[in-house]
Chain A
């Protein structure tokens, strides 16, 4: 009986699926079906001629939410904020020509910071490609140097596999953006749809497991270290390796520093954490790097803002470099023990290896004593005169205290970004969302939209400056449309602060074009979009104002803090200097 019933059931099933298997879908329908298959149910985009079939399909269905931005750059940054704060692949949909070129800054940003994005760009009809058609641009050509991969889909039959591969490539190995360029006629052609289960790529197989022999070599080096330091970066966050990093760091008892992109991977409040390193890193972190004998780099790429002058970088260190991207290893600085693999897997294996009785964790109390001496410089310190001008650091200090270090914080690029990195002690990964590699002003607000949409109930703050915020200010409109209660902390010093700082240091204070003249009234501007605007001018008002700002749960607040225009970011390693040549104040 049972078998008969099973058989009938199977027959019914087969019948149903065969109906599906013969039903033809258009490219536009297939597009939305593929997104659902990938679980990519939030899309940031902007419509236009080449993608109208797709938009019509999006309009007809309920499973995929589309967020309408006000400029395609905003779509890409919003998708980055979504991706960085969740670990999922961010999705962007824009039209051909200017839609695609406007998105390029965001794509390049995602490439530099290894953010998994799939960017769908409309393209003119296949028959028109190469004819300089209306809104035609060679998107695949333009984006080639700033994507992990890109694909031009020439016929509908290729669309499902292209999308499958795009998500696979974007989200695995070292993550990055993938552009899928879809001509308009592909979205109207139809075929019987089935979603491939396997991306089937012989040419793309990232190395995930670390080489056992290399892990042993690393463990031996660690066991002999006298002045070790762990230097971890954004790769730890990408691979969700923060727990493994904490376990490894606690087991060894070694000091740890994070890069700008790696903040939050290790709790910023932990005594083993010796703060951020690099150009505006702490004195103790940079001095410890300089004097270290064993450097354990995890998911970090020895960027020039980290290393300073390469021939003066870590002169005494044997370098263990763990990275999923082999081309990051020994690119800028020679690794003695390279370990190619996923940070999580390798840290797990290395921690297990070190637990073996044949290793003794070295006693580094003398080294900690030295680091303690350096830390006494208190290099991120600042003075707030309560009767003077508002120090930007004071605002961020208060923001940190009042949010309990628990908010999602996005930033734009410049002085304010460095001050957040120095003063906001992130204790969890994926809470600090900023543009590190490309250094894109205009990133903060749209990124905060992506974060807030992914975490509707969370406190999301966008720390910015009056220069950066104006680069994507139009997104205040998007925030209004979707009711995103982002808290914009605008540190308004009437200068492009970091440019002005470099002009102070290296150009005899000739402030070429760094003064922000003709600023808008940000309070009125915010109000005109339907948000709350506030202007805070006195130090004593900072604390109560922030309390009020953070308590307005359902409203976007644009808080314009008028800060000391002369404040500079210290410490600083001047370009071309080494870690032991810091300017402290």
Chain B
């Protein structure tokens, strides 16, 4: 089962490798991982996508908590949350007439052209991972030269926020 975890951790050298190391040491794959500092620069926030049953997820959540640098871990999988991923997609269109095709697909998936050259268009698409998959499928008749995806970011819907446990 696909899982999405939100993690707040100390923004320190080595924190990221502690998390990455934990997954590899326990034999669990990370599907995607997005990490940046938060507005409070002493903290970083991670969104991790992984796969596993309830038992594995319980264990990985506990192991993440156990890392001294980790402040908060939330398994967002079962919670009502917003998820967005960004992709940059470099395309070589089948022919010049296909630009309309590209713009039509962009309109459907809220994509836009981020760069253009003599040979290639680069699209920028933001959506759920499924929407990006669908965008790529819609462009299948053109040549997709390169794809870079951010991995999903997640945030809870409504008033709920990731909190810092205080003494």
Contact = CB atoms under 8 A, between A and B. Distances in A.
Interface of A: 140-141, 144-145, 148-150, 152, 169, 201-205, 325-327, 329-331
Given A203-B9, A327-B62, A330-B55, A141 B68 contact: no
26 contacts: A140-B14, A141-B17, A144-B17, A144-B21, A145-B21, A149-B69, A150-B14, A202-B165, A202-B166, A202-B167, A204-B68, A205-B165, A205-B167, A325-B66, A326-B62, A326-B65, A326-B66, A327-B59, A327-B62, A327-B63, A327-B65, A327-B66, A329-B62, A330-B55, A330-B58, A330-B59
B125 interface: no
B47 to A, nearest CB: 18
Interface string B9-20: 110011001100
Given A152-B14, A326-B65, 5 more contacts: A141-B17, A149-B68, A205-B165, A327-B62, A327-B63
Contact of B71 (A152, A203, A325, A326): A203
Given A140-B14, A152-B13, A330-B55, A203 B70 contact: yes
Nearest to A178: B68
Given A140-B14, A203-B9, A145 B68 contact: no
A169 B66 contact: no
A245 to B, nearest CB: 25
A140 B59 CA distance: 24
A329 to B, nearest CB: 8
Given A202-B166, A203-B68, A145 B59 contact: no
Contacts, number: 45
Contacts of A152: 13-14
Contacts of A203: 9-10, 68-71
A202 B17 contact: no
A277 B59 CA distance: 26
Interface in B36-66: 55, 58-59, 62-63, 65-66
Contacts of B1: none
Interface in B145-167: 164-167
A148 B165 contact: no
Contacts of A150: 14
Contacts of A331: 59, 62
Interface string B59-88: 100110110111100000000000000000
A338 to B, nearest CB: 11
B108 interface: no
Contacts of A202: 71, 164-167
A145 B25 contact: yes
B129 to A, nearest CB: 29
Given A145-B25, A330-B58, A201 B68 contact: yes
A152 B167 CA distance: 26
Nearest to B164: A202
B131 to A, nearest CB: 35
Contact of B68 (A140, A169, A325, A330): A169
A112 to B, nearest CB: 13
A204 B164 CA distance: 11
A329 B21 CA distance: 21
A349 to B, nearest CB: 22
Nearest to A140: B14
A331 B58 CA distance: 9
Nearest to B58: A330
Contacts of A330: 55, 58-59
